[in-house]
Chains A and B, each alone.
Chain A
Amino acid sequence: MTTLRLWQHFNREDLYECYQCARCTGSCPAMEVAPAIGPRETILRCLNVGHQQVAEDERLWLCCTCHVCEDRCPQQIPIGDLLVALRNSAARRGNIPGRLGMAIELLAKTGRSMIVHQLDEMRAHHGLEPLQPVAADEIREILRKTGLKEVIEF
């Protein structure tokens, strides 16, 4: 599997403009509830220790891609794009958290990212209709078209 050329997907020079003000982390909702690595440190690590190491860091996956950091960044660094590029790079090397991989596999197989038969039981208990079946084939096709297959197998 080819590794992704990160700097083809993200303009490296943009990172040099970061002056570590931490406005991004200050506005990051993920940082507030989880030990996420945070945009500021992600950038600092890319600059000082190299992005390969950053891509191996599990905490990268705690970002919820809300893009608030990008909105607040005084240097207008497209931080969201960086995080996505880093995750793609990690995923190509198989560095994807187990549970996330499983969810993708499920999505590709069943059209849903979680197992739902327990849900149906609960719904029945509340007198609700069972969930409608989903067009798993179509979802698989969408996933294929997004190029997800080149990043991870499903």
Chain B
Amino acid sequence: MEDTQTVEGTQPLRNDLRIGVYVCHCGKNIGGTVRCAEVAEYARNLPGVILSQDSLYTCSEPGQDQIKSDIRQHKLNRVVVASCTPRLHEPTFRAACQSAGLNPYLLEMANIREHCSWVHLHNKDAATEKAKELVAMAVSRAANLSPQLELTVPVIRKALVIGGGVAGIQAALDMADAGYKVYLVERSGSIGGRMAQIDKTFPTMDCSICILAPKMSEVGRHPNIELLTLSEVAEVSGHIGNFKVRVKKRARYVTNECTACGDCIEACPQLSPDEFEAGLCIRRAIYIPFPQAVPSKFMIDMDHCLNNQGIVACDRCYQACEHKCIDFADSDRMLDLEVGAIVVATGVDVYDPTPLTELGYGKFPNVITTLEFERLINAGGPSGGELIRPSDRRRPQKVAFLQCIGSRSKRSNPYCSNVCCMNTIKDALLIKEHWPETEIYVFYIDIRAFGKGFEDLFMRARREGVVFIRGVPGEIIEDIRTDDLTLLGENTLLGRHYKYQMDMVILSVGIRPRAGAEALQRMLNLSADTDGFYMEAHPKLRPVDTTTGGVFLAGAAEGPKDIKDSVTQASAAASRVNILMSRGQVSIPAITAKIDPDKCTACGLCARVCPYHAIEGGKDLGYFRVIEAACQGCGACVPECRFGAIDQTHFKEEQLTSQIDRALERDPQNKILAFACNWCSYAGADFAGVSRIQYPPSVRIIRTMCSGRVSPRWIEKAFLKEAAAVLVSGCHPADCHYNNANRQTAARVERFWKKMERLGMNKDRLRLAWVSAAEGAQFAKVIKEMDGLVKGLSLEEIRRDAELLRQSLEKKSKES
């Protein structure tokens, strides 16, 4: 605070710029490809630069100390660090600046690692030249920066947990124990999730519900936890520290007075498959999901209740209930909550192997899944813990497990599901424990027993005589008389074709993202990886954060994982929330839009595009103004104003156009100018770098917060300056981090194409691409394709198009 004020008072004049440039080698990561000393030397001669040096690791303690002492000693008033992506170390260097008394908004970074050295590994000259230009672009943006004060807002000391599996339970308890109020929203009638369904847990063979139930009851009675079952989040607005959440709570039709005596069950004539028992048996329309359910209350499944259609009036359960706690008048309700942070713990679904017709699941009764097996072998399950085969209720003598069903396959899920190898080993041991004479065969591709205690368990299974055969059957044939199953396949280690006759086959099915995970993804502006799991802000260093501030991930919703990892992650997420809560306030980045009332003509066009309704005003007032607390800083309103009355803090017009000027200073006819949004496409380009996906060095990327900030005037400017091609890129249409502000992007590019067409320009030179943060390969592909186009363009064509554009602009300016 202190620092910023002193800087505000002494806002430097343009002619006494004192810029310090630091070029980082990042060990060999940058230094192995880019000649850093040469880049630093080049930067020394850029306007405003008074000091430039290269260092091995700028982010290290000595590296940061150097910056701090230079700020003090050489009175630097701007700092440019050329290193990795600002998405990684911008906070580090901003903090360094601040501690030396320089306003953090006077720092600028050039991304010469993810966007340069890592993607041009084999072209040192081109990479070095590109790095110089990226530094020059950063220096000219830095010259145009001004100090900013961040607004701080209080954090509401309440949290929301979505999903009541083991991860959600753990996160809720950790936050509640720290003294904060927690709303736990669970879609089904009880918390517990998958863990409540499984019998024993690997690697310790603990009874799953026995270790989970105490935690579940603790949630039920914790004074700081408000449990909302049969509930789902319907709407989310606001931001870190202050979210407004609308929750839809479905009717239970049974009041809180229910003592779970179960007198109503017998009375109910209506039946339905029992979801908790994986559909292996039936339940009534009035039911409790499982005996240990929390809350321990019955509920009516209206889809199956006779009263649903209103044709028959049934009140048998009501009559049977001594406490009269059945309430047919109950109805769905909407609850409005205000919370400071959100933990997403929605877990996973299990793969349904029906599409793999060669295995006969759903057709042959004795082919079941591991989830069904968990219920079969559970003492509380439909068979009372007896292992029986569904066709004739006989105990099987020969049992086969098939691994990687629905996982590691382009036909289903391409990733490894992480838990099914160990789950099978656990299941095999359970059978051996109860019925040691059972022959067990595990058909596998690889056994992945990587965790603590896993290899031990694997060895135990082998010692107990479980037969492991490398080679998954390609086909299962059923004997229609006996219901026995014949497995056809190849033992790859023996190189021999096999035919095994089995009494029962258990498919070790994988796990996949929850059906409907996208809805929540949109509401919370999360990213998903290519497999559909929610994406963390950084795979190593911010594994439970998301790119939306104040929203955290826990459990298998983030990726396949076992119970231990789910719980670990849940505690981590809770601790991230607790930090936020105990601090009690967050600062909001100073990137809001501002309207100059003198230039504003009160036309109101900006207000129409603002996705947050953050612009108010009107003809009566004589101008429009931005409500700072509501503005999220997408910048979508800026290009909309024809009078240049709006600008965005820290993404000012001249800051960005100066970057365009620099990028196209040399050799524009061979360059692609790319605009990328902070959350998706810039991150996607970073990901291409992290994955070392190589693409041509002709592209220069300029970052905005949202693609909606990209002004058609910039595209115009680029073509007038004879850029060969322009790329506008952002998040996929429904994934925009600013409430679909990228609709404006699409509309503006569309209009620009029309204009190009009208003028007779080659409209392929402007491209619009949606690239998510996970689509590094896609970003590289787009650049490769555009580079191909650029190579095919002639200088005459580029100049002719520029001339056409110039003439049309001149004509327009004469007219007005």
Contact = CB atoms under 8 A, between A and B. Distances in A.
Given A40-B492, A41-B495, A72-B358, A26 B475 contact: yes
Contacts of B473: 23, 26
A19 B488 CA distance: 18
B497 A31 contact: yes
B445 A76 contact: no
B408 A26 contact: no
Of A26, A32, A38, A76, most buried by chain B (CB within 10 Å of CB) is: A26
A75 interface: yes
Interface string A44-74: 0000000000000000000000001100101
A38 B358 CA distance: 18
Contacts of B358: 27, 72
A75 B411 CA distance: 7
B472 interface: yes
A151 interface: no
B404 interface: yes
Nearest to A36: B497
Of B408, B470, B474, B488, most buried by chain A (CB within 10 Å of CB) is: B474
16 contacts: A19-B408, A21-B472, A23-B474, A23-B489, A25-B489, A25-B490, A26-B488, A26-B490, A27-B358, A27-B488, A32-B488, A38-B490, A40-B492, A72-B358, A74-B411, A74-B412
Contacts of B446: 19
A32 B497 CA distance: 7
B101 to A, nearest CB: 55
A96 interface: no
Given A31-B490, A74-B410, A25 B445 contact: no
A26 B410 contact: no
Nearest to B469: A22
Given A20-B445, A22-B490, A41-B495, A28 B408 contact: no
A91 interface: no
Interface string B441-452: 000011000000
B471 interface: yes
A28 B474 contact: yes
B789 to A, nearest CB: 25
Contacts of A75: 409-410
Interface in A65-118: 68-69, 72, 74-76
Interface string B471-513: 1111100000000000111111001010000000000000000
A79 to B, nearest CB: 12
Nearest to B406: A74
Contact of A24 (B411, B474, B491): B474
Interface string B611-627: 00000000000000000
B471 A21 contact: yes
A92 B404 CA distance: 40
Contacts of B492: 20, 22, 40
Interface of A: 19-28, 31-32, 38, 40-41, 68-69, 72, 74-76
Contacts of A22: 470-472, 474, 489-492
Contacts of B445: 19-21
Contacts of B404: 21, 74
Nearest to B476: A26
Contacts of A72: 358, 474-475
B495 A23 contact: no
Contacts of A69: 474
A28 B487 CA distance: 13
Nearest to B495: A41
A22 B510 CA distance: 19
Contacts, number: 65
Given A20-B445, A21-B472, A76-B411, 11 more contacts: A22-B474, A23-B472, A26-B471, A27-B358, A27-B475, A31-B490, A40-B492, A41-B495, A74-B404, A74-B408, A74-B412
The 7 A-B pairs of least Cβ separation, nearest first, read A26-B474, A27-B474, A74-B409, A26-B489, A22-B471, A25-B490, A22-B490
Contacts of A68: 474
A25 B470 CA distance: 13
A120 B497 CA distance: 41
Interface of B: 358, 404, 408-412, 445-446, 470-475, 487-492, 495, 497
A74 B359 CA distance: 13
Contacts of B471: 21-22, 25-26
Contacts of A19: 408, 445-446
A32 B489 CA distance: 9
Contacts of B475: 26-27, 72
Contacts of A74: 404, 408-412
A74 B409 CA distance: 4
Nearest to B474: A26
A67 B446 CA distance: 25
A45 B298 CA distance: 61
Nearest to A75: B410
A17 to B, nearest CB: 8
Contacts of A21: 404, 445, 471-472
A11 to B, nearest CB: 15
Of A25, A28, A32, most buried by chain B (CB within 10 Å of CB) is: A25
A68 B474 CA distance: 10
B669 to A, nearest CB: 35
Contacts of B490: 22, 25-26, 31, 38, 40
A19 B444 CA distance: 11
Contacts of A38: 490, 497
B358 to A, nearest CB: 6
A63 B408 CA distance: 26
B814 to A, nearest CB: 58
Given A22-B474, A22-B490, A23-B474, A76 B410 contact: yes
A107 to B, nearest CB: 32
A74 B474 CA distance: 11
A41 B493 CA distance: 11
B505 to A, nearest CB: 13
Nearest to A31: B497
Contacts of A23: 472-474, 489
Nearest to B499: A32
Contacts of B488: 26-27, 32
B445 to A, nearest CB: 4
B497 to A, nearest CB: 5
Nearest to A23: B474
A24 B412 CA distance: 16
Nearest to A71: B358
Nearest to A28: B474
B30 to A, nearest CB: 30
Of B358, B446, B470, B497, most buried by chain A (CB within 10 Å of CB) is: B497
A53 to B, nearest CB: 16
A72 B409 CA distance: 10
A20 B408 CA distance: 12
Contacts of A25: 471, 474, 489-490, 497
A126 B491 CA distance: 48
A55 B122 CA distance: 36
Nearest to A37: B495
A41 B495 CA distance: 8
A14 B141 CA distance: 46
A47 B499 CA distance: 27
A67 B690 CA distance: 38
A74 B556 CA distance: 24
A68 B357 CA distance: 12
A75 B408 CA distance: 8
Nearest to B475: A27
